Structure 1
Amino acid sequence: MLAPDSNDGSPDAAAEWAAMLEADPAAAIGPGEADRVLNQDEIDSLLGFDPNASGSVELTGVQALINSALVSYERLPMLEIVFDRLVRLATTSLRNFTSDNVEVTLDSISSVRFGDYLNSIPLPAILSVIKAEEWENYGLLTVDSSLIYSMIDVLLGGRRVSGNVRVEGRPYTTIEMALARRMIEVILEDTHRAFEPVTQVNFKLERMETNPRFAAISRPANAAILIEMRIEMDDRGGKIEILLPYATIEPIRVQLLQMFMGEKFGRDPIWEGHLATEIYAADVELSAILHEQELPLSRVLGLTPGDTVLFDRTPSEPIQLRCGDVDLAEAIMGHIGNNVSVRVTSPLNPPKVTMAGFEALDQSMEGR
């Protein structure tokens, strides 16, 4: 139903329209535009919640707005290559450590807030505070309880059981903590070797905690990279999570932006060689400066043919070789046949801007 024409000044029409709205507000809406209730699937889609989606699915809706402040790890492509290398190294090291068939797989790499991650850790678990000595910052390595008990059974010769290992509601014993520490040190050594092609960094185990409150190495709202790896030993195993705050990996952010090992930013060696070859083949004009002195303008204007200008120089004193406004070298004058010649007596002046200066400038620009 359409509203009456605003130009219609009839008070009866306006009163009739107001009474109709009070009696049935939906009467102002067309027959195909009536309000309907959203079902649960439509509400989940609007808010961005999908219970069937995995952790790697891109967030949508309200969840995407909430997490928009996080930096995606995909902007650091070298990080995934490093941890793929860690998976291969850890598989070999843990097989030698346990003398058993161990399979290590990389589940996911994601961005999380530090506080949300601490609240999501299933207890009991062992949280290891690790220090990256060269980066002068910290990270977390979390080992869940099922992996701890599975590793203890393997190391102490326990019988093979199918299914998950029963987790007892008790604190870890000294022997269990010592064996878990040894496994964590093996993984940290492999992490050091995985980062070697990118940078030299040593990871040191600072302390081991069982309460997440004592493992707070960053502010709850700070963003961090979470790496989830699964370790399987036949029918038993568990999960290891490595959490690195963005402040920790900031010193190597430029290296992590590489698409492959050894990539160089902003420099092409082919064009560098071509440019150097062309510069060496270029022709330049050199000027031999015998002497320079200042004269009054009136004397210069009064010079006539035959006048003599005395230079305060001797034949054995060096002269300046100049290209444009740049002094290149010193030389001694002589002659070869009927031609005047010069012999360079001092080396060329080193350039004030070197390639190291350009590289430092590139790094400063990339760091902004």
Structure 2
Amino acid sequence: MAAAEKILTKAEIEALLNAVFDGRIEPEKELAKTEGSVVTYDLFNSEAHKGFVPNLDIIYDSYIRYSRVTLSNRLRKSVEIKKIGARSYKFDDFLQTLPSPVCMGIFKIEPLKGAALISFDSTLVLSLVDSLLGGTGSAKVPVANRMFTSIELRLMEKIVGDVLQDLEKAWAPLYATHMNLLRMEMNPRLISIVPPEYQIVTMSLKLQIEDISGNIMFAIPYMTIDPIRDKLKAGMQFDLMAIDPQWSSRLSAEILEAPMETIVEMGNARITLRELLELVPGDTIMLDKPSSGEMLVKVEGVPKYFGIPGIRHGNKAIQISKICSNRGQ
């Protein structure tokens, strides 16, 4: 019946032929509409296939700067973070690379679609937990297949919260996001943030806590990043907006300690060259201001304040009376 419905009647065929002969229908154009257009796809240079996302590594550079300070303050230990490298996987293949158990945090990058995850290896989890509880951080590796306790997961949830806050700051210059932790998980088989055949982009980081080291891995679906790929391609200018808080605080401290030359101008006098050449010790030069009046205070040659002269603890001093209101000063 379905095939019979597609057969034209004799009247419909005649009407169609008349339309073609009259030029009202062009067969080539109609066929092109049904067949669709051809899109060139390079299997070898496809960015999606390689997992190449331009300038995404700059976001992780910014994250490393923030997280180094955050984790050092949280653990009260020296923390170093280095990038290992980025790689793309099919999601199912990526899950095969994860050990079991592994500590994972599933989070949402709002307003982008989909979810992402962060994973910590077992050695790093135990070191972080031991450090949070006041230990040395040199906890032994657990026996095979031992699941993490609810207390360990709860403590790791705090660490993941810190990580997401720092990641949110790193994304801010490029795209305003809110990182929202959905849940913690230990079994990779229970994770399904995208279908198995979808591409994800990963970034591996090595975290060094004094003598203990471990790996952190971020995994973000390609479909999550795809809507903002043009912004990522735009260039590296957003990285210039990222501020290293440690460098900024050191610079501010050094600037505040910079010496400044301060001069109090008691007054002015106009004399001739002859009078200048005839000056001898003991001569008096009359100024144009009384000694009890306000005097101009200059900082590095720039007028800044007015003050009243006096004596404090046996030293000559000046009390600031008002701020100089000259524009542009």
Is 2:144 the partner of 1:166? no
CA deviation profile, 1:90-136 (whole Å, cap 9, x unmatched)? 11111111111111111101111111000110122112111112113
Is 2:204 the partner of 1:228? yes
Q: Which residue is equivalent to 1:144? A: 121
1:82 pairs with one of 38, 59, 63: 59
1:209 pairs with one of 178, 182, 185: 185
Change (3 A) 1:113 1:121: same
- 1:71 CA displacement: 3.0
Q: Which residue is equivalent to 2:73? A: 96
Q: Which residue is equivalent to 2:170? A: 194
Higher mean C-alpha deviation, range 164-173 or range 244-253? 164-173
Q: Which residue is equivalent to 1:12? A: none
CA–CA distance in 1 between the matches of 2:47 and 2:67? 33
Q: TM-score scaled to structure 2, two decimals?
A: 0.56
Task: Note if contact 1:126-1:210 (Cα within 8 Å) is conserved in structure 2.
Answer: yes
- 1:77 CA displacement: 2.4
Which amino acid in the other structure matches residue 203 of structure 1? M
- 1:181 CA displacement: 0.4
- 1:207 CA displacement: 0.8
CA–CA distance in 2 between the matches of 1:67 and 1:205? 34
Give the SS at the match of 2:49: coil
RMSD: 2.2
Give the SS at the match of 2:193: coil
Aligned length: 196
Which amino acid in the other structure matches residue 99 of structure 1? R
Task: Note if contact 2:51-2:199 (Cα within 8 Å) is conserved in structure 1.
Answer: no
Q: Which residue is equivalent to 1:182? A: 158
Change (3 A) 1:165 1:78: same
Sequence identity of aligned pairs in percent?
30
CA–CA distance in 1 between the matches of 2:166 and 2:137? 27
CA–CA distance in 2 between the matches of 1:219 and 1:181? 26
Which amino acid in the other structure matches residue 121 of structure 1? L
CA–CA distance in 1 between the matches of 2:67 and 2:87? 20
CA–CA distance in 2 between the matches of 1:67 and 1:146? 37
Task: Note if contact 2:126-2:137 (Cα within 8 Å) is conserved in structure 1.
Answer: no
CA–CA distance in 2 between the matches of 1:225 and 1:93? 25
Consecutive unaligned residues in structure 1, runs of 5 or more: 1-64, 264-368
- Map 1:15-34 to 2 at 5 A: none
- 1:241 CA displacement: 0.6
Consecutive unaligned residues in structure 2, runs of 5 or more: 1-42, 240-329
CA–CA distance in 2 between the matches of 1:257 and 1:69? 12
- Map 1:1-368 to 2 at 5 A: 70-74=48-52, 76-159=53-136, 161=138, 165-168=140-143, 169-262=145-238
- 1:165 CA displacement: 2.9
Give the SS at the match of 2:140: coil
Q: TM-score scaled to structure 1, two decimals?
A: 0.50
Task: Note if contact 2:82-2:207 (Cα within 8 Å) is conserved in structure 1.
Answer: yes
Task: Note if contact 1:127-1:215 (Cα within 8 Å) is conserved in structure 2.
Answer: no
RCO higher in structure (CA 8 A, sep ≥6)? 2
